[in-house]
Structure 1
Amino acid sequence: MKKSRTGFLKLFLKSLSIFCLSVFSSPVLLGQEMSLAEKFSRMYITGEPSLSSDANRFTFLWDITGKKQVWVAEFASTFPLQLTFLSEEITFVEWVPKHELILFGAKTGAAGTTQLYLIKPNGSDLKRITSKDSAEYRFKAFSNDGKWMAYEANARKANILDAYTMNLETLERRLIAAEDDCVRPISFSPDASYLLLSKGNQAVNNDLYLADLKTLKQVLLTKHKGNAIYHGGDWTPDGNALYVSTTENETFHTLALLTLVKYRRSVVRGKLSPISLGKYDLAEFHLSNDGKYFSYTLLQDGYSRTVVQNLKTRRTIELDDADDVISADFTEDSKLFVLKYGSATNVTQTVLYEPETKKVKPLTFYNYAGLWPKDFVRPQSVHYISFDKEEIPAFLYMPKGAKVDSSLTMVVLFHDGVHSRAKPYFNLMVQFLVANNYAVMMPDVRGAFGYGLKYAEADDQAAREAALKDAASAVSWIQMSGLANPKKVVAMGCGYGGYLAQSIAAQNASGWAAAISINGFADLAEFVRTKSAFEKNALAIEFGEPETNADLFKKFSPIHFAAQIKMPVLWIAEKQQAPQAAEEAKKMQSAAQKNGVKSEALLLESACGQENLKRTFEKVAAFLENQVRNK
């Protein structure tokens, strides 16, 4: 299977190598070996593939020209066509069903809000279909016939997301729900007569409603007591039920069938029937349009385990390389599968899969830039004991051929996103560090998704201290394990992970040798304040209110303890992408330097992601070499 997946790319990659050489070669590099930093920064990987209705063409995002732009490819062609040449970065792309139209979003203007655009597959008739520069527009769903689009926007009130529909033929938009709280569209019924809506905080407690698109009358489908989360909404072909993910009366995100109960042909309520898939969090699921195939993905020990079933025969479909399938969806005609493959040693690939013949066609392209995939390293699952005896899951990467002794330097890499998780799939920074002979541990401290509700909520507000101590406790296990030098353990992370690394440097430094923060925030209150108005409502559940919980925010903000930093720290921040991190990096470094600490800061001015990545790799490698490994 792996051989067949890569076989289709040979002709493409030959063309790609010629293209890359012409665009990115420089006289300095010609005739000499590129550094690891240069190689890892030049691994251009496509993403977000979206198929046309006939499944003969597809769009995707690619940053090979500097910023992510929209490209379109035909399976019969040797090289794709670039459709957009915007100065802004494209955030997503979707092919409109049954139409010769492509929808995409781009960060536009000084506010950096996402605006929506339409373009034809030949690159003509580019038009922006949203109008308010200060508003954020988020695409959510198409109707099956592609005539209608559902999206959410805060155009009416800055702190509220409203549900809208738009006729993509006339561009007429309609406000479906405007209330005092966010109302988010999810999916159209098969005949486009109804729109499924979500109200409330989707991370803590929400409800699903059904809106009649003729009358705009809404019906509550998920009446419940206490907190419950409902996600998704894949309709059965007859429009009488939906598959959803829920935590109602459950300790994990669980699959359920939500049946529509009708009275005199009108929907009056919903009936929820849980479907047990074991004690694992349900990550995602998909039902084919004809109702024949169903896929679901469970998170088991941090790995995505995907199952595809034929609902008519009640049999599970055997997929090649099944352990590497991290998600499965279906084409519009339900005849082909769209499989996403992922592993630590291969970049994530999406393919079009024919279940009868098992033939595949690639929907993503990649370039290893002179690196050898066989040199990449797979992780092993480990657990360490935190301060209160809680077991913290983690992934451990050991350099190939490394001795299990105290000669190694260990980097503890914390994931970005409070409710995200460490993923055992290809990670540029992890493989770059391992290639430089560093061991890497990636923990899932409390608050990470994929280990049940209790674990995900165990870091909320005052309990944030437990997550910070989880992060700091990793060093004790490493010191006792004998896997690395007990005096050369480094805390590192991006975004939320950078926040954890700075917390260790300023408040929980015992046993640690150094810290690296990439685009990490240091002031928790400022992090919440600078978020968009509608995002603050969700963040209040997670962190509290900066005004009413001022003492709590100060306690958990490294910026108030910068004067206590006594270890080498490296701050890296992109001024355009993370202005808060850039400003705070200067303040943190200034405070640390007053202690005589050899701290460093790299503030990236470039808008080019490839250049920033190269400089980040170079700076991280030099810092670790000079301040830790050879110190």
Structure 2
Amino acid sequence: MTTSTDQTLLTYLNVTGATQPSVIPNQQAFTFLSKKTGIPQVWQWRGGQIEQVTNLPDRVLSVYHAPSGSRTVIGMDRKGNEKEQFYLLEEKRTEELVISEEHFHHFGGWSPDETKIAFSSNRRHPGYFDVYVLDVASKVEQVVFQVDGNCTPICWTEDGHSLVLNMPDTNIDQSFYVLDLKTAELSKIGAENALARTQSLQLSKDGQGGFYVSDKERDALAIHQFKFQSLAESEELLAIGNWDIEEIKLSPDGSQLAFTVNEGGISKLGVYDVDNKTHHLIEEIPNGVFDSLSWISEKELVLGVKSPIFPGDIWKVSLVTNKSERLTFVGEEKEVEHLWVQPELCTFSSFDGLEVPYFLYGKQEHSQPVVIYVHGGPEHQIRSEFNPVIQYLAANGFAVVAPNVRGSMGYGRSYVKLDDVRKRMDSVADLKELANDLVVNHGVDRSRIGIMGRSYGGFMVLAALTHYPDVWAAGVDIVGISHFKSFLENTGSWRRALREFEYGSLKDDTDFFEEIAPLNHTAKINAPLLVFHGRNDTRVPVSEAEQLTADLQKQSKPVELVIFEDEGHQTEKIENHIKMNTMIVEFMQKHL
């Protein structure tokens, strides 16, 4: 493989952005994350100017401001291992706060008086996340709740007497609980024994209850309101057709809820009036994906905006004018941004008549090669976001297709469950049907179809290559699963039980795992394969890549494995990002 590199590709890969805005309380300022200097660090916007706040040796994953805005907790892991440790940031100085490097930590909020923070950690057992309260001044920790399972504290109640906890029930369903810190009594928010996706909790300012989004008794997520005095009951306040309301954020005075709606992978922004029970959508904002809603005043909020032609920046929205203003320009790249294209949102009819959506990038020239990009999860969703490799391939004669096959989020509860357990291969069949649709309806060359994917998307690549070998001319597997049995045996025990709801269990489904495992069908692979993995991956162990590559090499099949020693499940270091994606582009150009 050639090591020469096109300068335009390097420019694409060096593009970064600004994400996760968080308003600093009581200040006309906010922080955000950017990998402008190579790995994600904390930056600050104030008065139209941005400056870097941290320069830590590893990536910053999260930022949590104290209620007064005077101090901040930041989370950082080590070499991509996702084992977040917490540091106190005050006046641009950082000091260690919660450190146990072999363990995971999930932040649970500042106490109202700022003397304590809550977090959960798996220190007692790899698969059990107990809840801790730490005194910030003395750094004394106390276990306040033990649970033999996964648990994440969300926030403190207004009186500081209780914590709200989030505990998963299945791979997609979660429940909120109120933990009384004096009595250790645990009370569920919502009906007992009712499964639902439940997320984005906000407590009301009067201390009487709060809001969350849930798909209780419906297919899509809607806004609900609850009261502490009657936790089992909730009132549905707002639903937007068949689309998910994903994120809500209560205004400082508690009178309004900003919310985002996921319409087929594209976000809409709305505001709900709590007293009048009315809502309106704000149209004057670029099309794309919105996240991290944060109020800067009663009439203004900031949010992250990403799209295929915006790598990510922070925008301000005025509720007075219903218009938006771009505040950061971190994602600006004047040299190449004029080349970036908006995809076309299409659908195809799969083998059983199911309509499956996909984003189509490229000029759609006759007989052009195509790369199908498969998302991970599997309960994730390809969104209308910037992807440098997709954009580069599309600008260089490829059609690039990003589908949301059955099992993807964003299209309702029924759709996301269509690939559960022994329906797993139906989603792989969707990929074969997609390839055929592209040939018939978009003029791509049947002999020049490649496929790539990350994480579960990597499994989909391997499954497609082994079960429909004649369809594909090349494949790229990034941190993918080659055998569900070995994956479940070796993944972190905190994930195993939840993954089994999706994939099947080691107890009941090993026969099915053996039947579908790409590792058991490598002899069928016809296409050359490029494999990437991070040595410190705690989700999909590197052994998944090593066992597959070794098996293919024994058969003298064309395969190459690249292991990044300083990465985990994600590829964060800019030099690794450039190496991986340069190799992917050259690989696809060579074989397609």
| TM-score normalised by the chain length of structure 1 | 0.84
Quick one: which of 532, 537, 542 aligns to 2:492?
532
Structure whose alpha-carbon radius of gyration is higher = 1
Contact 1:328 1:337 in 2 (8 A): no
Amino acid at match of 1:133: E
Quick one: which of 262, 266, 280 aligns to 1:299?
262
Q: Which residue in 2 is equivalent to 1:386?
A: 350
CA deviations on 1:172-209 (whole Å, 9 max, x unpaired) are 43333213333332222233333222344264554332
Q: Which residue in 2 is equivalent to 1:12?
A: none
Quick one: which of 193, 198, 205 aligns to 1:230?
198
Amino acid at match of 2:7: S
- Taking the aligned partners of 1:471 and 1:145, their CA distance within structure 2 comes to 53
- Taking the aligned partners of 1:459 and 1:446, their CA distance within structure 2 comes to 6
- Taking the aligned partners of 2:384 and 2:565, their CA distance within structure 1 comes to 31
Amino acid at match of 1:347: P
The structure-2 alpha-carbon separation of the partners of 1:615 and 1:540, relative to structure 1 and needing over 3 Å to count, comes to same
Are 1:290 and 2:253 matched, yes or no? Answer: yes
| Higher deviation after alignment, 430-439 or 342-351 | 342-351
- Taking the aligned partners of 1:92 and 1:575, their CA distance within structure 2 comes to 23
- Taking the aligned partners of 1:533 and 1:209, their CA distance within structure 2 comes to 23
The structure-2 alpha-carbon separation of the partners of 1:76 and 1:434, relative to structure 1 and needing over 3 Å to count, comes to closer
- Counting aligned pairs with the same residue, the percent is 21
Quick one: which of 423, 436, 443 aligns to 1:483?
443
Quick one: which of 267, 272, 291 aligns to 2:234?
272
Q: Which residue in 2 is equivalent to 1:101?
A: 71
Amino acid at match of 1:83: T
For structure 2, the residue ranges without an aligned partner over 5 or more in a row are none
Written as runs of structure 1 = structure 2, the 5 A alignment for 1:206-245 is 206-245=174-213
- Taking the aligned partners of 1:564 and 1:532, their CA distance within structure 2 comes to 31
The total of aligned residue pairs comes to 583
Q: Which residue in 1 is equivalent to 2:462?
A: 502
CA deviations on 1:64-99 (whole Å, 9 max, x unpaired) are 33332333443364x51342332x322222222214
Contact 1:572 1:582 in 2 (8 A): no
TM-aligned CA deviation for residue 105 of structure 1: 1.2
Contact 2:201 2:248 in 1 (8 A): no
Q: Which residue in 2 is equivalent to 1:67?
A: 39
TM-aligned CA deviation for residue 334 of structure 1: 3.5
TM-aligned CA deviation for residue 396 of structure 1: 1.0
| Higher deviation after alignment, 619-628 or 201-210 | 201-210
The structure-2 alpha-carbon separation of the partners of 1:589 and 1:368, relative to structure 1 and needing over 3 Å to count, comes to farther
Are 1:36 and 2:11 matched, yes or no? Answer: no
TM-aligned CA deviation for residue 444 of structure 1: 0.8
CA deviations on 1:545-571 (whole Å, 9 max, x unpaired) are 235422222223211211221122222
- Taking the aligned partners of 2:517 and 2:32, their CA distance within structure 1 comes to 39
TM-aligned CA deviation for residue 328 of structure 1: 6.6
Amino acid at match of 1:92: S
Amino acid at match of 1:286: K
Amino acid at match of 2:190: T
The structure-2 alpha-carbon separation of the partners of 1:254 and 1:342, relative to structure 1 and needing over 3 Å to count, comes to same
- Taking the aligned partners of 1:311 and 1:226, their CA distance within structure 2 comes to 26
The structure-2 alpha-carbon separation of the partners of 1:205 and 1:492, relative to structure 1 and needing over 3 Å to count, comes to closer
TM-aligned CA deviation for residue 541 of structure 1: 0.9
Quick one: which of 371, 383, 388 aligns to 1:428?
388
Quick one: which of 309, 321, 335 aligns to 2:272?
309
CA deviations on 1:234-260 (whole Å, 9 max, x unpaired) are 122212221122222222222211123
Amino acid at match of 1:235: L
Any idea what SS the aligned residue of 2:446 has? coil
Contact 1:520 1:581 in 2 (8 A): no
TM-aligned CA deviation for residue 538 of structure 1: 0.9
TM-aligned CA deviation for residue 363 of structure 1: 5.7
Quick one: which of 462, 466, 476 aligns to 2:422?
462
| Higher deviation after alignment, 62-71 or 311-320 | 311-320
Amino acid at match of 2:313: Q
CA deviations on 1:451-472 (whole Å, 9 max, x unpaired) are 1111111212112121222223
The structure-2 alpha-carbon separation of the partners of 1:306 and 1:325, relative to structure 1 and needing over 3 Å to count, comes to farther
Quick one: which of 143, 147, 151 aligns to 1:179?
147
Q: Which residue in 2 is equivalent to 1:6?
A: none
Are 1:340 and 2:304 matched, yes or no? Answer: yes
- Taking the aligned partners of 2:262 and 2:323, their CA distance within structure 1 comes to 27
- Taking the aligned partners of 2:48 and 2:244, their CA distance within structure 1 comes to 40
Quick one: which of 62, 73, 80 aligns to 1:92?
62
Q: Which residue in 1 is equivalent to 2:398?
A: 438
Q: Which residue in 2 is equivalent to 1:24?
A: none
TM-aligned CA deviation for residue 441 of structure 1: 0.8
Amino acid at match of 2:216: E
Amino acid at match of 2:25: S
Quick one: which of 113, 120, 125 aligns to 2:90?
120
Amino acid at match of 1:588: L
TM-aligned CA deviation for residue 362 of structure 1: 5.5
Q: Which residue in 2 is equivalent to 1:80?
A: 51
Q: Which residue in 2 is equivalent to 1:5?
A: none
Written as runs of structure 1 = structure 2, the 5 A alignment for 1:583-622 is 583-592=543-552, 597-605=557-565, 609-622=573-586
Any idea what SS the aligned residue of 2:470 has? coil
Contact 2:432 2:464 in 1 (8 A): yes
Amino acid at match of 2:73: L
Q: Which residue in 2 is equivalent to 1:9?
A: none
| Higher deviation after alignment, 311-320 or 549-558 | 311-320
The structure-2 alpha-carbon separation of the partners of 1:183 and 1:586, relative to structure 1 and needing over 3 Å to count, comes to closer
- Taking the aligned partners of 1:150 and 1:332, their CA distance within structure 2 comes to 25
Quick one: which of 484, 509, 521 aligns to 1:561?
521
Any idea what SS the aligned residue of 2:234 has? strand
TM-aligned CA deviation for residue 134 of structure 1: 2.2
Contact 2:197 2:214 in 1 (8 A): yes
Quick one: which of 408, 419, 430 aligns to 2:379?
419
Any idea what SS the aligned residue of 1:561 has? helix
| Higher deviation after alignment, 44-53 or 500-509 | 44-53
TM-aligned CA deviation for residue 586 of structure 1: 4.9
Q: Which residue in 2 is equivalent to 1:258?
A: 226
The structure-2 alpha-carbon separation of the partners of 1:431 and 1:145, relative to structure 1 and needing over 3 Å to count, comes to farther
CA deviations on 1:125-176 (whole Å, 9 max, x unpaired) are x322224332210113334554443322112222111223334344343333
- Taking the aligned partners of 1:572 and 1:181, their CA distance within structure 2 comes to 31
- Taking the aligned partners of 1:482 and 1:72, their CA distance within structure 2 comes to 45
The structure-2 alpha-carbon separation of the partners of 1:492 and 1:71, relative to structure 1 and needing over 3 Å to count, comes to same
The structure-2 alpha-carbon separation of the partners of 1:522 and 1:187, relative to structure 1 and needing over 3 Å to count, comes to same
Are 1:542 and 2:510 matched, yes or no? Answer: no
CA deviations on 1:288-329 (whole Å, 9 max, x unpaired) are 131122122222222222212344564536452264462473
- Taking the aligned partners of 2:538 and 2:575, their CA distance within structure 1 comes to 16
CA deviations on 1:527-553 (whole Å, 9 max, x unpaired) are 223322211121121112235422222
Contact 1:207 1:223 in 2 (8 A): no
Contact 1:519 1:578 in 2 (8 A): no
The structure-2 alpha-carbon separation of the partners of 1:486 and 1:255, relative to structure 1 and needing over 3 Å to count, comes to same
Amino acid at match of 2:271: V
- Taking the aligned partners of 2:335 and 2:559, their CA distance within structure 1 comes to 32
